[in-house]
Chains A and B, each alone.
Chain A
Amino acid sequence: MEDMSAVVGSTPLRQEREWNIGWADVGPFLALLALLVIGFVINPDFLSATNLGNVITRSAFIAIIAVGATFVISSGGLDLSVGSMAAFITGITIMFMNSMAPEWGLAAIPAGMVVAIVVGTACGLMNGLIVTVGKIEPFIATLGTMGIFRALITYMSDGGTIPIARSLREAYRPVYFGTIGGVSVPILISIAVAAVASFALYKMKYGRKCAAVGANEDVARYSGISIIKTRTIAYAIQGTCVAIAAICYVPRLGAATPTTGVLWELQVITAVVIGGTALRGGKGHVWGTVAGAVILELIANLMVLSDFVSEYLVAGVQGVIIIIAMLIQRFSK
């Protein structure tokens, strides 16, 4: 790729290959492949196009949010509030659409999406500022906002549900259930989000800064990189991603409830970690994260199809996976 023909005179430099691939890069995809094989052995229906399509579509929310989390974790942060933030944004968006529907008709839907993005980015920005300017441990700061968002959705729904207005339901349906060229819309959206994210992380200066801040805050500071700016932006990106996921989520259940998005933070962080991004920060692996989200959903699906383990134990299995992934990171270090 790069022109490396100008090898320095006195120093004997070996030509360097640009693709130098480590376990963190290929591991998640190998795991994904292995899982597909295991799935096929257990139940041949598993590999059917319909089943796989459904599984990947279902993994889209987690994948989109986890792509955002890749930024936060890469920069050395953590966000526990994503699940309740998703519920809160879903609630606000539905309420906004419902109240505008009589006046604006179907135009309320795109307007609601804009509201979702704005609210999501603002929520993320708030998390970021609490962590960076407020200098609060990310774990504590987002534990706090996790409680706040969860309380707000419970309050807004009065403990019940906030359903989307009937007049909007049909028109909004395709955002989750539609397909373009045979591929479901949520899959396309998550691919688009991951593509934009990998551009930002690997092709833009911001990605460098993000990885530097996560790898060694002091080195970044001594290199004139603003820690506050870099981290805050990461959290804002996380908020935007949560909003995009919430927009896809609305047509699936047609309502926001106090239990929307419960334990998503576990799935999101697990997806990032099994995707190859180190929890202590450093280089982020966007496509690994996407693979991680799909792996989680595949395992859940296998549990349903196989009858070996009760599907009620899905979160338990995810908990085990994140612990194992952390152990692998520890010992491969």
Chain B
Amino acid sequence: MSTVLSVQRERDDVRSVDRHGHHPVLRAQGMSKDYGPVTVLSDVSLDIFPGEIHAIIGENGAGKSTFMRLLSGYAEPTSGTMTIAGLKVVFSKPEHAQRAGIVLVHQEILLADGLTVAENLFLGRELMRNGMVDDRTMRRLATEKLSQLGCHVKPNALVREISLADRQLVQIARALLDEYKLVIFDEPTAVLTGDEVERLLAIILQLKEQGAAVLYISHRLDEVQRLADKVSILRDGKLVGTYPGSGLTQMDMARLMVGRDFAALYPGKRSETSEDPSLEVRGLVVPGYAKDVSFTARKGEILGFAGMIGAGRTEVFEGIMGLRAASGSVMLDGKTIDIRSPRAAMDAGIGYLTEDRKGKGLLLHERLGPNLTLSSLSRFHPGLMMRRAREQTALVDAVDAYDIRLKTLGVNAGQLSGGNQQKLLLAKVLMTRPSLVVIDEPTRGIDIANKAQIYAFIHQLVGEGRTCIVISSEMQELIGICDRILVMREGRITGEVSGETMTEHEIALLATSNMTTRDKRGWKT
């Protein structure tokens, strides 16, 4: 039997107390986390008090999720300590944190698809009666808990059959099944809309009333402003500071997150775009993801695709690339292309950078040269034999052109930092000489310096006469670099913004509005 907590009394604990005389539910001091040579979190200290909603904000890759994983036992810190009521605690498993009263509600949906809602809710802590699983009670409790969250799925529905938003609510209900002293929400509203967001915010306020501490991670600064008693800002793995929630405007928060003005992050707007079509998509259907999608990308423009997670943006382009079953007409530079195979799409001149760099973009255990040429083997190695010298030259060129930082050319792709991996992936896709480049989440998990470089590369490649489509969940990014933005919601294009109308408000409206809960029920993911 393993010990729940390895507990060790600290003799000279300086107790910190808030203005109401409360002791913190959790003190984190000097928390750092390295993954190999990469430091993702460095020396972060935070006191979390009961009855308080404490928002953690920061850009992608700032270390928010890592910090939350440390607090909730999903990862162990490289250095730093956590104390509860003066006792040092070490969580080597999520169960340890849960027994200490700390629970994390994940950003990703982690449910067993093939089990029912009730089974998922009680997974690993099934209620027993007379030595048997007590299904009836669990179903009843499931219905109760879920209706508190305004979720009305049947407890014996299979999770794979309910909508993405409902799955998120089931996951939240699962975390709230027991009473916790500290509940951590990692972007809980990313896949929720309208009513559901409101209901969740009400639940969070209720938790606060009951005296629980809430850590709240969100990209939605308006929510943060409404909810948070305190706001802590992380940037590049470091804590910038903790501020009272009432004293910060959204602009303040954004500035603190980025650490400099936006103007410097994004290259200047370009004026010249042609009216000639590059990519013309008509009536594209991706079963289960996109319905009747039609749009045109003009030659030399940067066209953005905005929308919520699950709106079908990625799937539209996977359909066009032949990576997913799809039907409809796709023309590139006036020629109809076959959308059944990725090879055909690449040969026709479309390059696609996946959002899942590590899972689908690069062979992490393979060296850089083979990664670079994997999409263009026939071009690099005409005939029977491979031309390694040619590959090596191309690698040296790419390292130079894309400023890929590395110690030696012999490293594996997995040993590069996220930003350098993304540059390698960009180089790999451009090796196929595409006339249209689709970049899905160009800067996910990338630090600010690399971000600015990626934006500059995007500008450069349209400057060279290519067309670029950028899919992103970061509205500021799209507004910063795109000439025009199309917004998708639930598998359809709901509008276009450009020039004057290109504002976060307008995009958010198109991405979320006018939806009744009933509409969404029929929407399967």
| Nearest CB in chain B to that of A229: its residue | B343
Contact in complex: B343, A224 (CB < 8 Å)? yes
The segment out of B11-19, B267-275, B391-399 that lies at the interface is: B391-399
Contact A212 B374 (CB under 8 A): yes
Contact A215 B363 (CB under 8 A): yes
Q: Which of A14-22, A162-170, A173-181, A242-250 lies on the face that meets chain B?
A: A14-22
Partner of B343, one of A8, A203, A218, A226: A226
B101 to chain A, nearest CB (A): 35
Q: A202: nearest residue on chain B (CB-CB)? A: B386
CB of A103 closer than 8 Å to a CB of B = no
B389's contact among A2, A205, A224, by CB below 8 Å, is which? A2
A residues near B408, Cβ cutoff 8 Å: 13-14, 16
A89 to B110, CA, bound (A): 49
A285 to B403, CA, bound (A): 34
Let me know if B375 is at the binding interface, CB within 8 A: yes
Bound state CA distance, A8 and B398, in angstroms? 10
**Interface contact B370-A208, CB-CB below 8 Å:** yes
**Inter-subunit contact A226/B392 (CB<8 Å):** no
What 1/0 mask marks residues of chain A from 1 to 16 whose CB sits below 8 Å from any chain B CB? 0111011111101101
Assembled-state Cα–Cα distance A42/B396 (Å): 54
Instruction: Report yes or no: B406 in contact with A13, Cβ–Cβ below 8 A.
Output: yes
Which residue of A has the minimal Cβ distance to B375? A223
Given A6-B396, A203-B386, does the pair A222, B354 have CB atoms closer than 8 Å? yes
Map CB proximity to B onto A190-233 as digits: 1 under 8 Å, 0 otherwise: 00000000000001110011011001101111111110000000
Q: How far is the CB of A215 from chain B (nearest CB, A)?
A: 5
Nearest-CB distance from A279 to chain B (Å)? 15
- Please judge, given known A-B contacts A215-B366, A224-B346, whether A208 and B374 are in contact too, CB under 8 Å: yes
- Given contacts A13-B409, A222-B342, A223-B375, whether A3 and B389 have CB atoms under 8 Å apart is yes
Quick one: closest B residue to A282, CB to CB? Answer: B365
Nearest-CB residue, chain A, relative to B381: A205
B residues bordering A, Cβ < 8 Å?
323, 341-343, 345-346, 352, 354, 356, 359-366, 370, 374-375, 377-378, 381, 384-386, 388-389, 392-393, 396, 399-400, 403-410, 428, 432
Q: Which 8 pairs from chain A and chain B are nearest by CB?
A: A16-B410, A218-B360, A224-B343, A223-B374, A223-B375, A14-B408, A8-B400, A224-B342
- Write out the residue numbers on chain A whose beta carbons fall within 8 Å of the beta carbon of B375: 223-224
Instruction: Supply 20 further A-B pairs (C-beta < 8 A) apart from A8-B396, A10-B400.
Output: A2-B389, A3-B393, A7-B396, A11-B406, A13-B406, A13-B408, A14-B407, A14-B408, A16-B409, A16-B410, A203-B385, A208-B374, A215-B363, A215-B365, A218-B360, A219-B359, A220-B374, A222-B352, A224-B346, A224-B432
B361 touches A222 (CB 8 A): yes
> Which residues of chain B are within 8 angstroms of A20 by Cβ–Cβ distance?
410
A9 in contact with B377 (CB, 8 Å): no
Q: Closest A-chain residue to B392, C-beta based?
A: A2
B386 proximity list for chain A (CB < 8 A): 203-205, 208
A143 shortest CB reach to chain B, Å: 24
Selected from B341, B352, B384, the residue in CB contact (under 8 A) with A226 is B341
A203-B386, A204-B384, A223-B374 as given contacts; A218 in contact with B392, CB under 8 Å: no
Interface residues on A, range: 20 to 34
Distance A221 CA – B343 CA, assembled complex (angstroms): 9
Count chain B CB atoms within 10 A of each CB in A2, A205, A223 and give the residue with the most. Answer: A223
The reply to whether A225 and B374 contact each other, CB–CB distance below 8 Å, is yes
Which of B386, B388, B432 has the most A CB atoms < 10 Å from its CB?
B386
Residues of B within 8 A of A16 (CB): 408-410
- For the complex, give the distance between the alpha carbons of A9 and B374 in Å: 26
A204 to B370, CA, bound (A): 12
Distance in angstroms between the alpha carbons of A221 and B370 in the assembled complex:
15
Q: How far is the CA of A13 from the CA of B399 in the complex (A)?
A: 10
Expressed in whole angstroms, the minimum distance between the Cβ of B326 and any Cβ of chain A is: 15
Contact between chains at B378 and A205 (CB < 8 Å)? yes
Complex contact B342–A221 (CB within 8 A): yes
Inter-chain contact B377/A209, CB cutoff 8 Å = yes
| B405→A11 contact, CB < 8 A | yes
- Nearest residue (CB) in B for A12 is B407
Question: What residues of chain A lie closer than 8 Å to B389, measured between beta carbons?
Answer: 2-3
B277 CB, nearest partner CB in chain A, Å: 24
Question: Which A residues touch B363, using CB under 8 A?
Answer: 212, 215-216, 219
**Complex: A154 Cα to B346 Cα, angstroms:** 50
Chain A residues within 8 Å of B341, by CB = 224, 226
7 contacts between A and B (CB under 8 A): A6-B393, A8-B399, A219-B363, A223-B342, A224-B375, A224-B432, A225-B377
- In the assembled complex, the Cα of A205 lies from the Cα of B378 at a distance in Å of 8
Q: Give the residues in chain A near B352, CB-CB below 8 Å.
A: 222
Contact residue among B359, B370, B378 (Cβ-Cβ distance under 8 Å from A218): B359
Contacts of A219 in B (CB 8 A): 359-363, 374
Could you say which residues of chain B place their CB within 8 Å of the CB of A10? 400, 403
Which residues of the other chain, B, contact A208 by a CB distance below 8 angstroms?
A: 370, 374, 377, 386
A273 CB to closest chain B CB (Å) equals 18
B280 to nearest A CB, angstroms?
22
Whole-angstrom distance between the alpha carbons of A224 and B429 in the complex?
11
Contact A222 B360 (CB under 8 A): yes
Give every chain B residue within 8 A of A209 (Cβ-Cβ). Answer: 377
A205 with B377: in contact, given A215-B366, A222-B361 (CB under 8 Å)? Answer: yes
Nearest CB in chain A to that of B384: its residue? A204
Residues of chain A contacted by B403 (CB below 8 angstroms): 10-11
For A2, list chain B residues within 8 Å (CB): 388-389, 392
Chain A proximity of B229: nearest CB distance (Å): 43
Minimum Cβ distance to chain B for residue A207 (Å): 8
B399 near A17: Cβ-Cβ < 8 Å = no
On whether the beta carbons of B400 and A11 are closer than 8 Å, the reply is: yes
- Minimum CB–CB distance from B412 to chain A (whole Å) comes to 11
Q: Which A residues are in CB contact (< 8 Å) with B432?
A: 224
The CA of A215 and the CA of B374, in the complex, are separated in Å by 13
| Chain A 23-41 residues near chain B, CB threshold 8 A | none
Task: Tell whether, in the assembled complex, residue B388 and residue A221 are in contact, meaning their CB atoms are under 8 Å apart.
Answer: no
Question: Closest approach, in angstroms, between the C-beta of B303 and any C-beta of chain A?
Answer: 21
- Chain A residues within 8 Å of B378, by CB: 205
Give Cα A178–Cα B363 distance, bound, in whole angstroms.
46
A23 to chain B, nearest CB (A): 14
List residues of chain B with CB within 8 A of the CB of A220.
374
Please indicate the chain A residues that have their CB under 8 angstroms from the CB of B354 in the complex: 222
* A317 to B432 CA separation, bound complex (whole angstroms): 50
CA distance in complex: A223, B366 (Å): 14
Closest to B404 in A: A11
Q: Which residue of A lies closest to B354 (CB)?
A: A222
B342 touches A17 (CB 8 A): no
Among residues of B, the one whose C-beta sits closest to the C-beta of A222 is B360
Q: Which residue of A lies closest to B356 (CB)?
A: A218
Residues of B within 8 A of A222 (CB): 323, 342, 352, 354, 360-361
Shortest C-beta distance, B371 to chain A (Å), equals 9
Distance between A251 CB and nearest chain B CB, rounded to angstroms = 34
Chain A residues contacting B388 (CB-CB under 8 Å) are 2
| Chain A residues within 8 Å of B400, by CB | 8-11
- B362 contact set on A, CB distance < 8 A: 219
